[in-house]
Structure 1
């Protein structure tokens, strides 16, 4: 595989208002690594970040990793949309989720509506101030009764990864998916763009990543003076993926997703290869 000249890693956010004007944690960060070195971008709103990513996709060859799941556990897509494909969920969410230029959005209400349709789950987690009886604030869902797995296969392989159904409190990633997948629905149809592992690699490859696979490399960066963990994660993971691409090792990662999950659940790029990522980030 020809090396990717540019790598970008995106730490997404489901915030309901713009992030602070001054660079801060828990916002949108984009780390970029290429022939000219490394850089990071800070974005206060999803609209601003999407515009920047759309511009990147129009120039050259890129691998762009997003830190939210691109798919849901097997069975969800067909029950929600009638089609057992992750892309059907992307487009369903793009039609249902409202996301204003000030980050105001309806993600919790949409999750509650899905729970109503499914009869008690699968989503959980919300602020106590929201009056949404169909969306429990804590995990009370019986997934066996509901007939859906709690975790994707890749989350079983990477136990630290949180289930996509969790929408609120520490470590939750479900809200980022609800707010990120509509963007994937808008980017994926553009010429020369594919989403791995659902499609074969194209000029621009969008994929799911999990920066925590870098483990102690992030701790080292913080000890060396980095003050924002999100910024460290995207910078180091972009570096690691760039190094693996140019040493010929990235092709093995892109060939590693089980066929059984490639249309519905998705996969984390680098799952099972944490040691290689950590070496490449050094």
Structure 2
């Protein structure tokens, strides 16, 4: 099977990103062969979602954070491919603010700081619903510029993202120690509504990977180093309520979700 998938990078990295590798493993577990054809450039998630199933310039499979609106527009495969790790957030900040942010122990204290987040990211609403000050932007690079210029104080990033970004901006930003944010969130594979067959194949493969233990082994092989750096057991975790989580989210399946030891 030939599948059109999102942009996978500029070719510098040796390996495909985790979701693309997991998608290939799911097809193998389902007994199907697959060839992934990445888009030539990155699309904003909202546009990528609308492109699912289109013949010209469209995608067959997309991976992104779920929301009720996104699940109404496309067909989700309701297996959180990152075990909900996207909802475990650390703060990227300028060094001169790190100590003040590290001392935060409540949402009330965090409200004294301004955060930056994506304009169309579903979890931006989670931060706003918690009463936090959030500046939004539709341009990813512009968010880092706002942090550089001091227009915002911190950028909440997932455990799987923040370490590479801190290395990229090591002269300007640090990962704030001692605190973390946590809220239930799920990254799914999405397909066009007219492709229940494709969704079924992906779900069957993922379920087989979970049942065999291969899913967890692969997840840890890709994320263990980030989890060790995060040292979540030594951080004060501020839990946030996600009132935007679709009711069909399989929160009752503990094997689907990451939990610190």
Question: Whose RCO is larger (CA < 8 A, sep 6+)?
Answer: 2
Q: Larger % of strand: which?
A: 2
TM-score exceeds 0.5: no
